[in-house]
Structure 1
């Protein structure tokens, strides 16, 4: 054992002294932008060395007390290789807590190297690993304040591997959080993993952090995390680590993204259409990275309305963005025009612009903009199709579109619950049909609501409707299930959730419990109340409860929202019919009727009744 340790230490020293480390890069994709966000830098030893694998390499470094030396060497060679290949996007560099406080990081050596290589600090993400215990929390906080002040962003690795990085998340407030591969692999088939990751997603939204799902190896897992709304992904399914990684989204990844479910956002635009980044497109003739600065200045001077100039390579891929005010400010200083006028414009361009795919929805684009560095609000964003440049968009135009969407959504919202009304419901159904997306339409109605409203007054009736609206919103997955309020006590849900039946069951139980809190103990215990009928006679009236009619809608089964509405209404009537047949005053539960036949395959009533 000792002899092996001595041999490994000698081998590590040889590798470091001879500069034999090889950096490899694994792409991290942004599902919303349908582009490569950046790359994680990983390190390898020589192929013919026993320390070729990173685990063996870093184990030898720990035994030889050379961790900081190895980390520094790996960081340096990775930065140089990243710059030499002109890779797009951000670079994620693994840094240990000790490495974060290393004098070679703190004294400006890394900053000087970035300046030499022409890499802006805003393109670097310091990925803090949890392979060693953090003992100096105040020192780490001070160091992160130092790096953030210079433009670096922070990520924490392997969320879920231990409790320590949950504490790191709450204290360090990173811009990126990587989910441990244990929770990602098999998530499409594992409900426990799904709900763990969903909880992480909720935390990320509160903390304004972007999640990166690591260890994606299967297309179904990639589709699952994408449908959950997780921004970024990384893993063998996307690409393996390579010394010369892909610069564009692999075709197999794009094919999965093309099959995505319909994401939810406020209604706007014409019937059946959802605004996308393409609606904000402004076509601007780009410049190339070799265009001289004098030409760029001339473009800005000749066109006062031109705020930015996109920089696009010969392959049609965007590589940067030049801001008008930044450029003119630099050239207004003495001798700048003489010094830099004939040099290429890539000297002053933003090398990590915000790039979005033309198919990204306005909601997705707004979320990306809110989480991007502040200067992107002024620069705007580049719009691409399949990774190739189309034009640019501005944050001003984006805010205008969002405002129009909010006004439109408010115009058609139910005044009591503020949920989308008939027009947004119909538009959403038509979007689902146009996209050939399978879904379940559920019509939810309160049985015996009118007698309750007449007896106890409209105020208590409104309370019941508001309670039901809240319970429905809590029961659905708001990222993929659409909740609408038709009017009165009628609600409509468009489910994409695979577990929609369980959610309906839970809604029945929760509504029954809620009614128990609204009514007094005597009314609840008796299962109803006494009321006066039309003839002036006192009769016993059952408590309000739910009837839910549900129908599965497959691709091509319906042509418009009208057919879906009719089918759901028939299913709801069957649910209410079965509820009356199973009438029991002591039973506060509800009823579900599921039309399980394909539409057109048989008459309504061929489904199955489920009662609580």
Structure 2
């Protein structure tokens, strides 16, 4: 009698990184030739668990080094309390649990949520990564989605016709520390929409169809990676550039590393990890093979621990930015600038690597776009860079202070001292703003004598000391400045437009003061405080006016 497993085959579909146009992982999909095993698995948790193990073994037979995605029904996890057979199978296959992402598949209706969350907690403790699948077409409750706190959320491509929903999900995922993937991408228009909405990963027939033999190449439409909005100095997240890591146990021999490298020409290096998955040593492809190919190299090193031929790994956390990765790369000798940087989770386990070339390309594109918006007089960015950063802080739930500054009676400065003196004064103010709190503020020149500054509230005193308390002049004539600040606590504004609306009356109040003036208000609270200057700007209810100059 034939078993249903005799007619069961598996196909593999790449999960594609839209930033780097490379394969980030392989999803293993059951393809029964007869019957409907998947419908039976939906009703039978034991059968579903067995399918997951078979999918792992099928992927193992392809000898792929890529991370794997395996599907499992939500009801299966809730009923079984985890997947102990899968954990054992992963170890037996020589893979590591954190190389496996479990795509939790709907339906969720009637699934005991507490039991599901407990099962996910168990799987996470074992090292598995978690993905919420079918979001948009499935029935996962939003509350359950946040409680699951997945590493990845897979959206149905039908949501791409509703870009606001995708962007909202991207914002939620940023809060959860998750990536966004779009499934079912079939057209270039869909791919462009996925990138525009902020998705980092995608799957679909356009990129690479599911096939019995894993695809070596994928298609990402030209320009897709470059259409991602330019990021501010804080930089794009390293999560967007993570590639699969080639890992071996720290006990691996040099011969084992050589076999991996020679059999996988796309692998630029190997990470040697401990039993918990933490990187202990980094083996660079070129330097290692050079050592092995030298005279007596193979005889000397083949059976020796590869650990002795590696270097201390360079690591960054999954929450790092691209700029922080560059800081890590800059430390040490020049011969290591091409080394992969290991990305580790909060447990110190390796979740992948990033390559310097990917970061430099993306950051260069970001800088080109930012340069196009620089003010030709001060070489400072315009308002877009500031408002983008404000929106990012609002989405992250971080407080900030948004300030507007201008030169008092600037037309009289130009008329009396000449436009050249006026231009030099504007340049000097711009430099003073930049130098006041380096690394702690973003300064924008929005035209004429107007500037925008986004900073932490703690940086305001240094900012004020540098620009309001300093003597200014043009053509030998004294000049004063006016500053208005709105402090935005988490939840006090929905976007930069609301912050600007709160700032507008403060600007008017600051301009009404005599001499150098500074007015500060707080979004959502009535009134404002006069912190510098005096004159006709009364403090509204809610604040007591400060003494002039205080």
Output the TM-score relative to the length of structure 1: 0.47
Aligned twin of 1:381: 353
Change (3 A) 1:212 1:449: farther
- Report the equivalent of 1:567: none
User: Which of 17, 21, 38 is the aligned partner of 2:25?
Assistant: 38
Sort the Cα spacing of 1:134 and 1:508 in 2 relative to 1 into closer, same or farther, 3 A: closer
User: What's the counterpart of residue 575 of structure 1?
Assistant: none
The alpha-carbon deviation at position 95 of structure 1 amounts to 1.2
Matched with 2:270 is: 321
Secondary structure at the aligned position of 1:422 is classed as coil
Tell me which residue corresponds to 1:312.
261
CA, structure 1 residues 486+369, in 2 after alignment: closer, same or farther (shift >3 Å)?
farther
In the TM superposition, 1:59-138 aligns within 5 A as 59=39, 65=43, 67-101=44-78, 103=80, 105-106=82-83, 108-138=84-114
Change (3 A) 1:175 1:327: closer
**More strand per residue:** 2
Deviation per CA, 1:333-355: give whole Å up to 9, x if none: xxxxxxxx849979xx9xxx999
**Structure 2 equivalent of residue 489 of structure 1:** 450
Query: Is the contact between residue 22 and residue 77 of structure 1 (CA under 8 Å) also seen in structure 2?
Result: no
1-side partners of 2:246 and 2:151: how far apart? 31
Structure 2 matches for 1:4-15, cutoff 5 A? Answer: none
In the alignment, is the contact (CA less than 8 A) between 1:155 and 1:175 conserved in 2?
A: yes
Q: Which of 422, 425, 436 pairs up with 2:378?
A: 422
C-alpha contact (below 8 Å) 1:449/1:489 kept by paired residues: no
In the TM superposition, residue 517 of structure 1 has moved relative to its aligned partner by 8.2
Partner residue of 2:122? Answer: 146
Answer yes or no: is the 8 Å Cα contact 2:103–2:130 preserved in 1: yes
Distance change >3 Å, CA 232–CA 327, structure 1 → 2 = closer
- Which residues of 2 match residues 424-463 of structure 1 at below 5 A? 424-425=380-381, 450=409
| Kept after mapping to 1: 8 A contact 2:72/2:105 | yes
**Aligned partners of 1:446 and 1:489 also within 8 Å:** yes
Give me the whole-angstrom Cα distance separating, in 2, the residues matched to 1:162 and 1:241: 21
Report if the CA contact (8 A) 2:73-2:104 is conserved: yes
Measured at CA, do residues 194 and 203 of structure 1 come closer, stay the same or move farther in structure 2, by a change above 3 Å? same
Q: CA deviation at 1:446?
A: 11
| Partner SS, residue 381 of structure 2 | helix
- Residue 120 of structure 2: SS of its match in structure 1? helix
Choose between structure 1 and 2 for higher RCO, CA contacts under 8 A separated by at least 6 residues. 1
CA change 1:364–1:423 in 2 (3 A) is farther
Change beyond 3 A, Cα 1:362–1:374 = same
Q: CA deviation at 1:143?
A: 1.4
Contact 2:445/2:451 (8 A) holds in 1: no
Query: 1:530 deviation in Å?
Result: 11
Work out whether 1:295 is the aligned partner of 2:249: no
Secondary structure at 2:222 match in 1: helix
Give the alignment's Cα RMSD to 1 decimal. Answer: 5.8
Q: Does 1:23 align with 2:10?
A: yes
Alignment partner, residue 265 of structure 1: 232
User: What do the CA deviations read for 1:38-74 (whole angstroms, capped 9, x no partner)?
Assistant: 122211111xx3x3xxxx4433556xx5x32441332
Return 5+ residue gaps in structure 2 as ranges. Answer: 240-244, 282-301, 328-339, 386-403, 414-442, 454-494, 515-550
Equivalences for 1:523-602 in 2 at 5 Å? Answer: none
Shift of 1:266: 1.5
After superposition, the Cα gap between the structure-2 partners of 1:157 and 1:379, relative to the gap in structure 1 and judged at 3 Å, is closer
Residues 176-231 of structure 1 show CA distances to partners (whole Å, capped at 9, x for unaligned) of 111122112xx4xxxxx111111111111111111111221122321232244321
User: Kindly tell me: are residues 483 and 58 of structure 1, through their superposed partners in 2, closer, same or farther at Cα, counting changes over 3 Å?
Assistant: farther
Q: 1:179 aligns to what?
A: 155
Q: How far apart, in 2, do the equivalents of 1:158 and 1:90 lie? A: 20
Q: How many angstroms does 1:241 deviate by?
A: 1.2
Return 5+ residue gaps in structure 1 as ranges: 1-12, 188-192, 269-273, 278-285, 300-308, 330-340, 387-392, 394-400, 430-444, 455-481, 493-505, 521-528, 533-612
Structure 1: how far apart are the matches of 2:445 and 2:197? 21
Give the paired residue count.
365
Distance in structure 1 (CA, Å) of the matches to 2:324 and 2:265: 26
Distance 1:516 1:59, change over 3 A: same
